[in-house]
Structures are given as C-alpha cells and as structure tokens.
Chain A
Amino acid sequence: MSEGTRQAVALEERLARVALNALAEPGDPRLARLAAALGAVEVHDRLLHDVDLAGLRSETAARLADLHPERILEVAARQDIRFLVPGDPEWPVQVADLDHVEPLNRLAGTPLGLWVKGPADLAQVCARSVAVVGSRSATTYGARVAGDLAAHAVGEGVTVVSGAAFGIDQAAHRGALGGGGSTVAVLACGVDRAYPTAHRSLLEHIAGHGAVVSELRPGCSPTRVRFLSRNRIIAALTRGTVVVEAAVRSGALNTASWAQRLNRVLMGVPGPVTSAPSEGVHELVRSGAALLVTRGEHVLEAVSPAGSQLVETPREPERERDRLPLEDTRVLEAVPLFTPAPVASLARTSGTSVRQSREALTRLAASGWVVQEGLGWRRAPGSLEPGMRDPGGSGA
C-alpha cells in the first residue's frame, strides 16, 4: 500500500492493533469492545501495565511485552502482506456491523485489523460483493452452479468472496477467475499459508489478481474455532451470502447464520430434494431464512440496490391467439379444421348465440383465422402450424 494510506492512521494505533491482534484469538468480543471504547493504544498500554481488563487476564497480557509489532509488520511487508486497520481508506467499513450483533459460539466483534495480500483494494472490491460458500464435500452439480453464479456475478462487477476450501469454495473462486473478475479469499490461517495445501496455486493466483485476507497474522495455522471466526468476516465483508450445497452439519451454515445476524441477504441454491449435500440449504429455504436463487441474475437482484438489476419473471411468449377476446377464442375453437360448418352449428358448439358467433367469425376472418366456404366456416389454411403454433403477424 502507498504511504498515503498508511498515514491516515497513526503509527502508534496501528502498532497497538498489530500487538493486540497477535495476542488474542480472532473474534474475542471483549477485545473488540474495549478497542472500540478506549482505543487500541489505551487498551494496549493498560494491558501492558498489568491492568486486568474485562477478564483479559494479566498473564495473557504479559506476553504483550515480548511482542515486537514493528518487526511483525516488517516481516509481513517483505512478503507483500499489509495490515489494514479501521480508518485506512482501504478498510471495509461494513465489517463494523459485527459490533452490533449477538455473539455466535461466543465469537463476535469487528476484527482489530485484517492482513491482506494481493493487488485489490479491499474496500473497493468488497463494496459490491457476494459470498458464495458451501460444502467441502460438494458434487459436480454444486461446483458447476457455484462456478456459474460466480462467473455471472463478476461479469456484472460484483466481487466473489469465499473461503478457498475444497468443493464449493474453490469452484466459486475459479468461476470468478474464469469470468475475468475479482475474487477475495478469506482464510482461517495466515495469508502466507496455503491451506488446504492442494490449493496453493489457487491461493497464489488469487493473491496475484484479487486479495487473500485473514484476521490472523502471517504464520498462524488454522483451528476449528478460527474457521468459525473466519466465517463471520466472510459474511460481514459482503452484501449477501449464497449457500450452494451444505449438508446439515456443514460449516457453510455457520456463515449463513452470521449473514442472518448481520442482516445480510441470505440465499440458497436448491439441489435435488433427495440430495444429502443440499439438505442444509433446503432447510434454510424451508424455514424462510434464505431466498431461493437458481441463477446469477437472482443473486444480483438480491445484492444490488433496491430496484436495480431486477429479474423478469420468465413466461411463455405471448401468442397471437392469446390476444383474442374470450368470445372469439370460444368460436375459433369450434371452427372445424377442414370441413366447413354453418354458423348455427358453430354457435351451438361454442355456446354462444348465432349473432355473437357471426360477429366473432367476421372479426376472425378479417384477421385471417377463418375462411368462409359456401355457407360454412373453417380454419384458414395458414392459421395452423405444426406444433399448434399460431400464425405470427397474420394481419391482426
């Protein structure tokens, strides 16, 4: 990042946040609250001077003295990793919403800072973004849908955020990359680590074109709890979360819960009703928590400002015949295809009066639907196509 960005926040504040970030596990609500109330520098100083704050015990704090935030920043910078803090122009302000929600699994709170690797401006790319998450044990169906949704989203300038895991996550990232758009991976370990190892080239590619983000400082390895606190960042960064294939115990449902708490749009892609990998999603939709989406347009409509990107409800194209008045339709249906029938018989079949029938037939004849032969009427030769398609532009 340029010097200009750095200068927006006092160095002291940044260093204090680096130290606190290195000290605490991500998603500790007490630290987030304290930092918000007192400022990071104050919290740092008090903890350093053995003051027990909100149960952050002094022995934990004692480790603060051994930390060298400057060194941490320096080492990170050598790996092209930057540390964003609130107040930076690149800071995604929407994550502050995390301060206003109930903890989930005792995790909550705005992160003290975010470690970022990659050329993308995090605030900018996440301003219009959607999370696409799902099961690691996904099927080829789910992977394809996730890729399609992601490719469609980036095509409209919406960034795709996910967790770089196996299954749906990687499909979403790759769909976004294949679609030529930007994508952000949020990790539960340091951004210098490749987890899972098999996704090293994927992560390298994202770090080269989009951004790899983590609340954990470089070098940290992933744990179960860290995955849960990572999920809250994914939900908070984006305007909505799409769940594609999540079994009943999938971690993707945790991200979904965060999205709900944060009042973000929660969306679910259905699978076959018999499919176990889609059961969790179906439950989200069934309980009314998630909006059912089946294609990119649906997702865009949900995450775009109200009234924009509206999806037209698909309907059959209107046919000539659909535009006929009800009475004419009735009579038309009574008219035989080949052998002409007299008006009286048509009136009887169609349940209209002779006068009404005659009027209707006159109108139908004028627009090319029927022809008169002798004393009877029959369908006009050109008004019937194979497959019962009605004539287009037949003078109506």
Chain B
Amino acid sequence: MGCATARAVTLDGLRGHVIDVQADVGDGMVATTLVGRPDSSINEARDRCRSAVMNSDYTWPNTKRVTVLLSPADLPKRGPHFDLAIAAAVLAAAGDVLKPEHLHGVVLVGELTLDGRVRAVPGVLPMILAARGHGLTLALVPDSQVDEAAMVDGITVVGVRSLAQVVARLSGKEVPDAEPVAPLSTARVLTWRGDSRTDDLDLADVHGMLDARYALEVAAAGGHHLMLSGPKGAGKTTLAERIPGILPDLGVEEALELSAVHSLSGDLRPGQGLDRRPPFRAPHHSATKASMLGGGTGQVHPGEITRALHGVLFLDEFPLFNSDIIDALRQPLESGEVTIARGGEVATFPARTMMVLACNPCPCGDYHPDARQDRCVCVESRRRQYRSRMSAPVIDRIDIVRNVVPMRPHERRDPLSRPEPTSVVHERVVAARRRQAERYADTPWRINADVPGPTLSQRWPLEDAGAEMLDDHLCRNAISHRGATRVHRLAWTIADLRAMDRPGEHEVGLALLLRTGEPLPLASLEAVGR
C-alpha cells in the first residue's frame, strides 16, 4: 500500500505537456476517485482500468480507497490515452506486481480495453516529443505506433500490446504474447485530390506565363503567400500544383513537426517513416471552418491549414469559401499560427504554410480581359459582390499577386520555347533557402516569410536606394506599412535567388511589381529560362 507516480502526456494543439499521474492506495471509504481536471473520457478510464487490471489476472485494490491525481491541475486533460499510466500507477501503488521505482523515467501512452489489451491513440508523436523534452528515457506506446514514436531520437520506444506486456516490461519479467494492436481507424478530413497527385507534374509543361512562373519561384524560395487571378481554364491550378515540386525537402525538425500533426489527426500510416516532402493541401471551398482552421468535437483537431505545415495550402475559388473562414485566415496569414479558443481551453497550432489563393475575375469564371474571349454573363453588381468577398485585410496580407492569362496556341507551338523543368527551378529555390538558413542561423526563423518586420529592418535592412524607393511608396500612401514589410521580405527573397548580399533598388522595384500584380520587366526574368 502506498503511492506511485506514472507519466502521461496531454496535448494542447500540437504542444504536449507531461502529466504526473499519481495514485494513492490506502485506507478509508472504499472508492476510486480521479482528481485534477479530468474530462469525461478520463473519468471513464477508472472503469476501463479496473476491468483491464482484473481481466489481466492482477488485483485491483477493491477494498481500499484509490485516489488518482492528474497534475499539474491547471492543464485541461482529455483523451483515453491516460489509461496505461493510470493502470500502471495504481498497480505500482498497490505494490503487488509493480513497484513505484519501475515507473521512473517512463512515459506511458495508450488506451485500454476491458480485457486488458492496448489500443492505438492519436497524437503519439507529439506526446513522445514532449516526453523527450521532459527528460524521460523510456516510452511505452501501442505496438502499432512504434514507428511513429521512433521518429523521435533520444528516447527508447517500446511497443506494447496488452497491460500484461506493460507490467512485464516494467518489472523486467518475460514478456507474454498478445494479440497485435489494430492500427488507428482514421476518419480523414476531406481531401480534394490524392496526396501524391502533384508528384509527376513538371514546370517544363508550362509554356509562356513567364511572370507567373517567376512568381511561383519567388513565393517558393521565401515562403510567401501568392494569389493567382484569372479566368477559368487559365492555368491557375496547373501552376499551383507545381509548387510542391520546386519546394525543398523538409528539414528533420520540420518533418517531425508535420508528422506530429498527422499523428494528431490520426492519419500517419504505420511504417511510413518520416515523410520529407512538403505537403500540398487543396481543400474544397465548401469546407467548414473547423476543418480549415482546426476544431471539432472533443479533442481539438488540426485543420487543413495546419496539415499544410511547411508546404502549400491551395485555396481554389477563394471567394467562394465561407466568409467566416476568409476572415479567420488573417491571423495565420500574419503570424503563422492558428489559435482556437473554446470554452476554457485554448489550442494553438502551427500554421506556417505558403498560402496560394486562386480566384476568378467574376462569379461565372468566364470574364476575360480580352473582349473577344469574354463570355461572362455576370451583371456588374454580382461581380462587385464577388470581389468584395475577398476582404481587403486578407488581400493586404498576400505578398504576390499575379494575373494568369491562358496559354496561347502560338506559345505552345513556339519552337524556341524551352520552359525550365521543375528540377532546375528547384535547385535555385534550394540555393536561395540555403542562403536564408545561413543568414538566420542564430535565430528562430528559417525563411524570409518568418522574420518579423521590425527585426528585419534593424538587422537586415535594404540598401539605401531600395529603402528610399520603399519610403517613397509609403509616403505616397501607395502601400500600407504591412505591405512595406512584405515588400521588404520579397526583396530579400529576390536577392537570395540572385545570390546577392543585400537587396537594392532593383529588387525592391521588382518586389513592388510582384505585390501589385503589374507586369514584370522581361530582363529580370532572363534567369527564369524561356
């Protein structure tokens, strides 16, 4: 009889907090109580654990008073994955098959069934990341999720299939056999296209569209947000889908962070390993706010914007998205984070992603600036209404605006057109990203889009002529302060692509054109390959 502490992890968004699960078995009125802000699913753990322990042929202290405390108490805790920790703490406190010292440095994650088997739970990866950060050295996770947890270095990961295996592992006995754990059944959030759809798309197939190609390259190199506007069939999707191909592979930390997101939404396939390719998410415009930004019932689930972490979030037909969603995009567009506040709890998810918005010039999508090809039937009032849906504050947060004009037949048949393949553009983007990584080596940022405005102007200012040009635009009210910061970042990316040490007048000029949607000088695109 006594007291024992096991460790579990609770998640708030993607951040994990190690929770002490303390069990006390002693005299008093016979009862089992759970204290420390458990939610209903943890309260049910009491019954699951009791049955699991008894059905595993261990003794539940039925004649004692059992108190389980989850601390710190100020963190909300939810989810069935505390079962293992609770059962282990109670068994250790009872002292028959486990001793309190068996639990030192161990984190336990998993749900229990009544017959003592372990079930898979979502979010194992971020939990183990948190456990490692807390200095724990051994992690027991559901057997089917070992691969996922093993992505984290510096902590020993052991898969378990039943409570009996847990006890055997911890007490150093021979591990009994048990039925394998079924992988997590996942309800995937709506996906518009297959994830691998973008794999074999190449920029070599895009003739003409020089400034759109350049816009793609700059956006990818610095992680800037991009808006493509043009009549339907102009090639907006064609362009957007080719962005993942020119993005560099994710770094280990980034990939881990992304996998943590997938872990949380439960769609990390077992045995998949660490996916280093940047994600491309293209939710349909009928998506709900919860699926876009995060939310849902029970545990707060990451939304599409978080699932596109370090990759591309492509919003086709942007004005048709719910206006709530459009306005809610402001925060992630600006800060790279999305915060979901609900009742007493606040979850923050990372949302560092390149947003690519596509829109038509009018609701029917047939409006064409060239009168001969204009088949638009929208009345002016509807057109205006459609445009007004793209709220000005959101547009102000877009770095690059491009009008996409359909490829002309003569452009496709141009015998001298040699559009650069994705691989060549990819290399330039990688080189530009490398320059950024070196520049920001001693900072928390990786790419130009991450750097806050004030820091940027203090530590990485523009050349005088460039700064004057930007000031001039500010004075004439031709650009907002936020816009100026974004132009500053863009100018750095342009300089990085050109392997220059500091952006000057030329780069600022080009950045301004990119931002305002005006045509670019051909001479600056020489390198883009035509």
Interface positions of A (Cβ within 8 A of B): 136-144, 147-148, 150-151, 166-167, 174-175, 177-180, 201-202, 205, 272, 275, 277, 295, 314, 387-388
Contact = CB atoms under 8 A, between A and B. Distances in A.
Given A144-B405, A178-B415, 7 more contacts: A140-B211, A140-B525, A144-B408, A151-B410, A178-B413, A201-B416, A275-B518
Contacts of A166: 522-523
If over half of A's interface residues share one DSSP class (helix, strand or loop), that class is named, otherwise mixed; here it is helix
Contacts of B372: 295
Interface in B404-418: 405, 408-417
B383 to A, nearest CB: 11
A387 B385 CA distance: 14
Interface string B500-530: 0000000000000000001111110100000
Interface string B285-308: 000000000000000000000000
Given A295-B372, A387-B378, A139 B405 contact: no
Contacts of A275: 518
B208 A144 contact: yes
A140 B210 contact: yes
A139 B211 CA distance: 9
Nearest to B413: A178
B371 interface: yes
A106 B343 CA distance: 85
A205 B521 CA distance: 25
A140 B413 contact: no
Nearest to A201: B416
B405 A205 contact: no
A167 B522 contact: yes
A178 B519 contact: no
A272 B517 CA distance: 12
Contact of B522 (A140, A150, A295): A140
B411 to A, nearest CB: 6
Of all A-B residue pairs in the complex, the 10 with the closest CB atoms, nearest first, are A178-B410, A141-B519, A151-B410, A178-B414, A139-B519, A140-B211, A179-B410, A140-B519, A387-B379, A178-B413
5 contacts: A137-B522, A148-B408, A175-B410, A178-B412, A295-B372
Given A144-B405, A387-B378, A388-B379, A174 B414 contact: yes
Contacts of B409: 151, 178-179
A194 to B, nearest CB: 13
Contacts of A175: 410, 414
B416 A202 contact: yes
A295 B411 CA distance: 16
B373 to A, nearest CB: 11
B408 A151 contact: yes
B377 interface: yes
Nearest to A136: B523
Contacts of A180: 410, 413
Interface in B392-426: 405, 408-417
A128 B415 CA distance: 23
A138 B521 contact: yes
Contacts of B522: 137-140, 142-143, 166-167
With most chain A CB atoms within 10 A of its CB, the pick from B211, B379, B410 is: B410
Contacts of B415: 177-178, 205
Given A139-B519, A388-B379, A178 B210 contact: no
B11 to A, nearest CB: 48
Contacts of B417: 174, 178
B207 to A, nearest CB: 9
Nearest to A271: B519
A139 B521 contact: yes
Contacts of A314: 371
B369 to A, nearest CB: 11
A286 to B, nearest CB: 21
A272 B416 contact: no
A205 B523 CA distance: 22
B416 A147 contact: no
Contacts of B210: 140, 143
A395 B416 CA distance: 56
Interface string B203-243: 00000101100000000000000000000000000000000
Contacts of A201: 416
Contact of A387 (B371, B377, B405, B520): B377
Interface in B124-157: none
Nearest to A138: B522
Interface in B363-380: 370-372, 377-379
A235 to B, nearest CB: 24
B410 A272 contact: no
Given A272-B518, A387-B379, A137 B416 contact: no
A139 B525 CA distance: 10
Given A151-B410, A178-B410, A387-B377, A142 B519 contact: yes
A143 B208 CA distance: 10
B371 A147 contact: no
Nearest to A181: B410
Given A137-B522, A139-B519, A140-B211, A205 B416 contact: yes
Contacts of B413: 178-180
A295 B374 CA distance: 14
A150 to B, nearest CB: 8
A167 B415 CA distance: 17
Contacts of B416: 174, 177, 201-202, 205
A295 B371 CA distance: 10
Contacts of B525: 140
A244 B518 CA distance: 17
Interface in B440-499: none
B404 to A, nearest CB: 12
Contacts of A141: 519
A155 to B, nearest CB: 9
A179 B408 CA distance: 10
A175 B415 CA distance: 10
Contact of A177 (B211, B405, B414): B414
B487 to A, nearest CB: 17
A295 B416 CA distance: 23
Contacts of A178: 408-415, 417
A277 B521 CA distance: 9
Contacts of A295: 370, 372
Contacts of A174: 414, 416-417
A350 B372 CA distance: 38
